[in-house]
């Protein structure tokens, strides 16, 4: 079965964004997933046709990156970070809990089609470990209990809001956003959490600025102290004091 004419139009729209059309292949594959629920042979051939590539070239990209799926994904994709820090902080325990609760293995989907569970590599959110992602949105400082409640809420269709992001939609809708089509939720939720802003607050307090920064830390937004007031800065401050003392 071929893709709909509307999907072909959107694939061409994506390709036209780039000076070299083939640079659009990654978002085009996300669009295919938003429509098909996975990267299908039809999707591969459509991308190849639009970009003037061979299906083998497109397939080589689709099989290289783990975000592209060759089998159907559930309504929601739940990824548990099991890389070093998250694992030590409880990620392995969370994954084991969800695997038992959902009765699926890694990269498998529940019988009702609601949840696909996967253990994933580092999400660059180590200051909030252990981290769980739903459709690529962050859920910070998770425990087996909170993660279990999270998947219950998803399966029951309750509204779920990411720790540092928007309301959770479906995996397919998230894939469409990754293809470059807005969903109107970009301004929902905070852009950063307190732990990520501690360094900026210390820089502001001490008047530090990056080399060549003509603005300096004095120009940091006024709301910054409120954003970091719940973060524990004692360790960072003590290490800074120790370093300054050693310089003397």
CATH 1.10.10 boundaries in the chain: 5-62
pLDDT tens by residue, 23-74: 999 999 999 999 999 999 999 999 999 999 999 999 999 999 999 999 999 9
CA distance 168 to 159: 7
CA distance 26 to 39: 11
Architecture, CATH, for domain 76-170: 3-Layer(aba) Sandwich (3.40)
* Two tokens, residue 238: 């003590």
- pLDDT for the residue 218: 47
Label residues 67-83 b or e (16+ Cβ within 10 Å = b).
bbbeeebbbbbbbbbbb
pLDDT tens by residue, 72-86: 999 999 999 999 999
* Contact of 193 with 165, CB cutoff 8 Å: no
CATH 3.40.30.10 boundaries in the chain: 76-170
Higher per-residue pLDDT: 1 or 201: 201
Q: pTM of the prediction?
A: 0.80
pLDDT category, 219, cuts 50, 70, 90? low
Residue 110 burial (CB count, 10 A) = 19
Burial (0-12, 13-18, 19+ Cβ within 10 Å), 135: buried
Stretch 167-182: mean pLDDT, rounded? 96
- pLDDT for the residue 238: 53
* Contact of 142 with 136, CB cutoff 8 Å: no
Architecture, CATH, for domain 5-62: Orthogonal Bundle (1.10)
Q: Is the pLDDT of residue 227 over 50?
A: no
Residue 202 burial (CB count, 10 A) = 16
- Strand, helix or coil for residue 188: coil
């Amino acid at each position: 079965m071929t893709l709909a004419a509307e999907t072909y139009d959107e694939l061409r729209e994506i390709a036209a964004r780039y000076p070299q059309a083939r640079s659009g292949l990654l978002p085009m594959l996300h669009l295919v997933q938003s429509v098909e629920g996975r990267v299908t042979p039809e999707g591969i051939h459509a991308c190849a046709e639009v970009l003037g590539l061979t299906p083998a070239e497109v397939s080589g990209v689709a099989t290289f990156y783990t975000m592209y799926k060759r089998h159907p994904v559930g309504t929601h994709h739940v990824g548990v970070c099991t890389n070093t820090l998250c694992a030590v902080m409880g990620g392995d325990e969370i994954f084991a809990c969800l695997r038992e609760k959902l009765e699926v293995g890694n990269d498998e989907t529940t019988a009702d089609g609601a949840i696909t569970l996967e253990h994933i590599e580092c999400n660059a959110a180590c200051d909030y470990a252990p981290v769980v992602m739903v459709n690529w949105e962050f859920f910070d400082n998770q425990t087996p209990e909170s993660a279990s409640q999270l998947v219950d809420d998803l399966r029951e269709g309750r509204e779920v809001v990411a720790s540092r992001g928007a309301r959770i939609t479906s995996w397919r809708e998230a894939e469409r956003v990754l293809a470059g089509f807005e969903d109107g939720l970009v301004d929902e939720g905070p852009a950063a959490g307190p732990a990520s802003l501690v360094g900026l607050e210390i820089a502001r307090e001490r008047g530090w600025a990056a080399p060549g920064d003509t603005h300096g830390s004095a120009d940091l937004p006024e709301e910054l102290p409120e954003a970091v007031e719940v973060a524990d800065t004692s360790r960072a401050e003590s290490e800074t004091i120790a370093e300054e003392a050693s310089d003397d």
